[in-house]
Amino acid sequence: MSDIETRLAKLESLVESQQEQIKAQQETIEAQCERLDAFEDDSGISLPISRRGALQAGGALGLLGLGAGTASASGSGQIGTTDTPVGTVYVDRLNLDRNIRSDDVLRLVSKTGENNSDSGNFIVGHQNNSIDASKGAVISGGGVNLGDGSHQIGEDGDFGTISGGSNNTVNGFAATVPGGSENSATGDYSFAVGYRAKATDPGAFVVGDSSVDHIESQNEDEARFQMNVVANAFNLVDETDDADEPAEGRLYVDNGNLMYEYDDEPVTIESDPST
C-alpha cells in the first residue's frame, strides 16, 4: 500500500470515528429532548429551551468533534480532556447556571512554556482586545469598538492585568490597570487608574481624575494623584540618604491652618491651605 493510500485509509477511519461520535451525540440529545417533552406534558411547565435549540447545540458540539479533540461532553459536563483538548470554542453567549454548587463556577486554564510550567493568557471583553505578552496576562472585560477603544497588553506585560474600562494599556511586568479609560501602566509593578493616568516608572501609583489633561508619574515608587486628596491627617516619613535618622512627622489641618508636627512640636506651614 502506497503512502497516499495509507493516509487516505487513516483519514477515512478518522471520519468514520467522528461520524459515530456525532451520531451518538445526536441520539443523546434526542433522548434528552424526549425527557423534556415528557416533563412539560406531565407538569404543564414550559422550559426555556426548544427541541430545535437543543439539536442545534448538539450539532455544533458534533462539528467541534471534527477538530483535534472531541467536543462530546462527559457525564459531569466536561468537554475535551487533558490528552485531547478542544483548541478553540466560539460562542455568542455563555450562560452559567446560578444554582451551580461548586468551588469553580468558571475555570479556564491555559499553560505555556517548557513542560507547561507557565500560566497562559486570558482575554474577555471586546473582540479587539489583545495580549502580546507570553504568559500570565489577563484582560477580564471591557473595551469598545470605537476608535482605539480596545485594551492591549504589550510584549513586556507578562502577568499584567486590565480589569475593565476602555482603551487601557499595560506594558510592564505585573503592572495593573483596574479600570477607567485611556490609562497606561508601562512601568514594572506600576498601577494606573481613572482617566488618562500614565504610570511610566517602576512601582509608580497614579490616579487620574475626570479632567482632560493626563497625569504621569515622575519617579520610581511614587504615588501621584490628579485630584485633591481629602484626609484628616497624613503620617510623613523622610527616608533620604543624607539624614542621620528618618524624620517622622504628621501633616494635618487645624482651624483652617495647614500644620506640620514633628517631635510633638506643631508648626504652621501656611494660614490658608487653598492658596
**Same domain flag for 124 and 222:** yes
Q: Whole domain around residue 242: which residue ranges?
A: 233-270
3-state secondary structure of 21: helix
Residue 201 lies in a domain: yes
Per-residue model confidence (pLDDT) at position 65: 41
**Same domain flag for 200 and 261:** no
Please answer whether residues 206 and 217 qualify as being in contact, where contact means their C-beta atoms are separated by less than 8 angstroms: yes
pTM of the model: 0.57
> Which of 64, 80, 111 is the endpoint of a domain?
64
Complete edge-to-edge strand list for the sheet that includes strand 184-185? 130-131, 152-153, 169-170, 184-185, 197-199, 215-216
Residue 144 lies in a domain: yes
Per-residue model confidence (pLDDT) at position 236: 64
**Same domain flag for 131 and 210:** yes
Strand 247-254 and strand 257-262: pairing?
Answer: antiparallel
Residue 79 lies in a domain: no
**Same domain flag for 53 and 123:** no
**Same domain flag for 200 and 248:** no
**Same domain flag for 159 and 218:** yes
Please answer whether residues 22 and 62 qualify as being in contact, where contact means their C-beta atoms are separated by less than 8 angstroms: yes
Per-residue model confidence (pLDDT) at position 269: 61
Q: How many CB atoms lie within 10 A of CB 155?
A: 11
DSSP 32-86: HHHHHHHHHHHH-PPPS--HHHHHHHHHHHHHHTTSSS---B-TT--BS-SSS--
The tens digit of pLDDT for each residue in 233-268 reads 666 666 555 555 555 677 776 766 767 777 666 666
Residue 85 lies in a domain: no
**Same domain flag for 237 and 153:** no
Residue 188 lies in a domain: yes
Number of folded domains in the chain?
Answer: 3
Per-residue model confidence (pLDDT) at position 50: 53
**Same domain flag for 169 and 213:** yes
Contacts (Cβ under 8 Å, ≥6 apart) of 224: 204, 205, 206, 207, 215, 216, 217, 218
Q: Which helix (H) or strand (E) element contains residue 248?
A: strand 247-254
Residue 171 lies in a domain: yes
The tens digit of pLDDT for each residue in 162-187 reads 999 999 999 999 999 999 999 999 99
Q: What percent of the chain has pLDDT over 70?
A: 57
> Which of 208, 227, 246 is the endpoint of a domain?
227
Greater confidence, 216 or 67?
Answer: 216
Burial class of residue 268 (count of CB atoms within 10 Å of its CB; 0-12, 13-18, 19+): exposed
- The residue-averaged pLDDT of 197-220 equals 94
